[in-house]
Structure 1
Amino acid sequence: MGRPVRLKWLDDPARRPVDPAHGRPGDRVSLADGYPLLLTSAASLARLDDWIAETALERGEEPPAPLPMRRFRPNVVIDGVAEPFAEDEWKRLSIGEVEFRVGKRCDRCVLTTVDPATYTKGPEPIRTLARFRKWDGKVWFGINLIPDGPGQIATGDAVTVF
């Protein structure tokens, strides 16, 4: 890795339940943040990048380069969704052979303002998300998924929204 790291170990991966307000008994998360998967869409990131550029121009600033999706640390990124933020309204979907419930929309923290390549911090995307995607005192981007059973998903799998 080229730098000091600490290994973490979870003795029982079934021990950590998801937030009971958004999951069912038996729903578990291992070493992920709060839910088994985080899904984002390319259409939503493209719209956010447009808003960031428009806002920069309004302030008389040079528009920044588009944000890389890895700023949001998703497990699943989907493409081909016509409308940005369509995923906000999804309740159930399948990816390949696995069916998922949407636990909740994902509220975003300040970690998204740190460039994962350079470790430099800036105001985006929180500043622009706060302008366009803020409610309940939080900013939102992506959805948290909970699988309804075991299975594998892979790049290129079909996504079906129920």
Structure 2
Amino acid sequence: MATLSSLILYPVKSCGGLSLQQATLTVQGLQHAGIGDREWAVVDPSGVCLTQREYPRMALIRPQLAGDSLLLGAPDMPPLQLPLARSADGATLTVQVWDDQVLASDAGSQAANWFSSVLGVPCRLARFHPQAERAVSQTWSGGIAATTLFSDGYPVLLTSTASLDDLNQRLQRAGRAVLPMNRFRPNVVVDGIEAFDEDYTDSFALGEVVLKPVKPCPRCPMPSVDQDTGVVGPDPLDIMQSYRAKPELDGALCFGMNCLVVEGAGQVLSVGQEIEVTLAF
């Protein structure tokens, strides 16, 4: 029987995650304590999102829940406290996520100064605006209308422990160190299925929730970033080249599946929960 082995929510895009025992699933992804997945994003002065691709040190920015605030920590810096309550008259800005232009709330000068000090470049912190809506590409959604926040493109990224085990065995045979799952930054990790069965699954049912995989997740060099140190190491893409290239994505090397929430929005997911897997053939 397949089970839900991990739930991870990333409050700030490309920064550290919160490992949870339970989380509410919304159409825009995981939510916990009023915090949505990738609800905040760090942006440059023109509003373009910053990520670990260019700034691996972002991995060291770690979130914690602190009552009615989100607390962010980084080495050699005092913590930054972000109130969860929204200001009625705060400044707004436009954030660019890939080809999308999204309205956001500016988190203010204190947050801007903190992130600029941590990353060593001028930047600001933006929060997805409550009146904004960002649609996923229906090219891959099969015509299903869905939205997301500041994720790369879809509300839920799902991986499996067997797929990581398979990759790690190949890395070991090549004399390389194994990788933890956090290199691939999933929201949902499934145990009890065969390696890469997620590629060929029509749906994952968790009680009243139904997740539908719609697009393989192409991988950039981010899995080479050690999430504990922020240091870039050997890239697993060379090993993945031999068996994870997807012709339907022009040969992109993929690990994990982007999913939509097609039923059960508002339900609570729990680690250890059983999953009914329906294959697509």
**Residue in 2 aligned with 1:78?**
190
Percent identity, aligned pairs only, is 35
Cα separation, 1, equivalents of 2:237 and 2:189: 20
Answer whether contact 2:162 2:191 (CA < 8 A) is retained: yes
Change (3 A) 1:41 1:29: same
Alpha-carbon distance in 1 for matches of 2:126, 2:236 = 29
Partner of 2:44: none
Structure 1 residues 67-89: Cα deviation after superposition (integer angstroms, max 9, x where no partner): 010000000011111x2111110
Q: Structure 1 pair 13/160, CA: closer, same or farther in 2 (3 Å)?
A: farther
Q: Distance in 2 between the 1:68 and 1:85 partners?
A: 17
Contact 1:13 1:30 in 2 (8 A): no
Is this contact kept in 1: 2:138–2:145, CA < 8 A? Answer: no
The reply to whether residue 121 of structure 1 matches residue 232 of structure 2 is yes
| Richer in strand (by share) | 2
- Specify every segment of 5 or more residues in structure 1 that has no aligned partner in the other structure, as ranges: 57-62
Q: 1:96·1:154 contact (CA, 8 Å) conserved in 2? A: no
- When you count helix as a share of all residues, which structure comes out higher? 1
Q: Secondary structure at the match of 1:132?
A: coil
Work out whether 1:112 is the aligned partner of 2:223: yes
Partner SS for 1:101:
strand
| CA positional deviation for 1:31 | 2.5
Query: Where has structure 1 moved over 3 Å in runs of 4 or more?
Result: none
Return the offset for 1:148: 0.9
Q: Which one-letter code corresponds to 2:156 in the other structure?
A: L
State the alpha-carbon separation in 2 of the partners of residues 55 and 86 from structure 1: 24
The count of aligned residue pairs is: 154
Task: Provide TM-score, normalisation by structure 1.
Answer: 0.86
Q: In angstroms, what is the RMSD of aligned CA positions?
A: 1.7
Point out the more displaced range, 93-102 or 70-79: 93-102
TM-score (norm 2): 0.51
Runs of at least 5 residues in structure 2 that lack an aligned partner in the other structure: 1-72, 78-113, 116-123
| 1:152 matched to 2:268 | yes
Moved more, 120-129 or 2-11: 2-11
Preserved CA contact (<8 Å) 1:13 1:29: no
1:131 maps to which residue?
Answer: 242
In 2, are the aligned partners of 1:100 and 1:146 still within 8 Å (CA)?
Answer: yes
- In 2, Cα distance between equivalents of 1:20 and 1:13: 21
